[in-house]
Amino acid sequence: MRRIAEPSIPGRSVVLTDFLSETTAHAWDGTILCTDAFSAAMDHLESLGGGKLIVPDGIWLTGPVTLRSHTELHLSDNAIIVFSPDQDLYPIIDTNFEGLDVRRCISPINATGATDIAITGRGIIDGSGEHWRELKKRKVGSDTWKTWLKKGGVLSDKGDVWYPDEGYKKARATAGTLNFPDPGLDEQEIKTFLRPVLVSLRNCERVLLEGVTFQNSPAWNLHPLWCKDVTIRDIIVRNPHYSTNGDGIDIESCDGVILTGSSFDVGDDAICIKSGKDADGRAHGMPCRNLIIKGCTVYHGHGGFVIGSEMSGGAENIWVSNCRFIGTDVGLRFKSTRGRGGLVHDIWCDHIWMKDIVAQAVTFNLYYAGVAATEMADAEQEAAVPVDETTPEFRDIHFSDLVCSGAKQAIYVNGLPELPLAGVSFKDCVFTADKGVEVHYSEPIDFDNVTVNGEQIR
């Protein structure tokens, strides 16, 4: 793996308050919109060839912020950037979400085609996601549900889901469990449903995220897409446990990523690797490769480390080491389904510590149907179909020094009969779980010194 280059940013700096007008001079209290100040500061730095924009202590309410090449957004220790819920500030653009080329609202923080960009500091970036997301009654207690009802909005016909507005409800009805409604619907009417990821970085090169807390995203939290040379260290990513599509970070079709020393507490998959979905993903043909993920902690999420289910461009040469997953639905989660295609290979996971895993410590599910692992049905048992470009392939995936203290099941494998998993190995692993190992449609798995509840697996 080649050396990952970090951004080169000029040493000059400016302070956000230098760009406030007389009417926004007291914007630090979070009551005055200061979108223009962020934009003017970025314009100024861009005209000089780049530099650092310092956001001082305070609460700063703003609309979308676009990062420019050779610029750094730096948050002081007590700086809180809060993104306005005013939808008029977020135009609908051509973008990519869940592996498909679609139209959705522009992200609160965004960059396209930029080089040498950074978000640093110890402050907090809040996406005001509660104004965008739906809420399922079964995911929260009665107090939270009553609080949401007071916000207004509308309920599903069954009364078990809260939607921000009628347009969202209409879009959900046509989209079903997916996030892609009938294209014939009026975009402006269903705008809330087209909720953005908090940070969208597309086709960027030499990116640094360091120290900042990213929280409360409308959809996914962090989404580097088609990027090269990304360094992420010591960040905190937070979303409510009930947040729909509240992923932590989705590293998609990137080449060269180092993620270290970071913590995640989210409402969906925490650290997720993707590379496009179905025909769109295969057309882009960009695998996610050359990744190091080390020293991270996940406190809540559908999966601690996840590959898929949108992996049609493939994933390769990924090393996950010295991570802790506490209370996640699944520890190490690999998922796809027929129609995706894509090759996932040469993955190494070692020294992973897992505690109180709700479902499986390690799972492969190539019949993924868009539901949480805790809701997964029994293994599919379908006849083989011909192998073609739409058949996902998983092989040469290695686990060592895994420790799991408490899970519903240690290892669950559900491959495809037409293209079983191949080259999977476990070495020096210890599991404590209600159930042991269950395997469907896989070439023989190599178990070397692996125990479940003290008994050796052979």
Active site amino acids:
268, 302
Amino acid, single-letter form, for residue 366: L
**What phi and psi values does residue 422 have, to the nearest 5 degrees?**
-145, 145
Contact yes or no for 450/398 (Cβ under 8 A): no
Q: Helix, strand or coil for residue 111?
A: strand
Q: How far apart are CA 262 and CA 232, in angstroms?
A: 8
Contact yes or no for 425/450 (Cβ under 8 A): no
Residue from 122, 108, 292 nearest 212 by CA: 122
**What phi and psi values does residue 284 have, to the nearest 5 degrees?**
-65, -40
444-402-430 Cα angle (round to 5): 80
Strands 29-33 and 303-307: unpaired
Answer left, alpha or beta for residue 289, where phi above 0 means left and psi between -120 and 50 means alpha: beta
Report, in angstroms and rounded to the nearest whole number, the Rg of the chain calculated over CA atoms.
22
Amino acid, single-letter form, for residue 379: A
Q: How far apart are CA 340 and CA 279, in angstroms?
A: 8
Q: How far apart are CA 318 and CA 345, in angstroms?
A: 9
**What phi and psi values does residue 14 have, to the nearest 5 degrees?**
-130, 160
Q: How far apart are CA 419 and CA 73, in angstroms?
A: 47
Contacts of 158 (CB under 8 A, 6+ apart): none
Q: How far apart are CA 27 and CA 96, in angstroms?
A: 33
The residues that bridge with 364 in the sheet, in sequence order, are 334, 413
83 DSSP 8-state letter: E
Contact yes or no for 354/363 (Cβ under 8 A): no
Amino acid, single-letter form, for residue 45: L
Contact yes or no for 248/225 (Cβ under 8 A): no
Contact yes or no for 259/234 (Cβ under 8 A): no
**How far does Cα 338 stand from its chain's mean position?**
22
Residue from 48, 57, 67, 49 nearest 16 by CA: 57
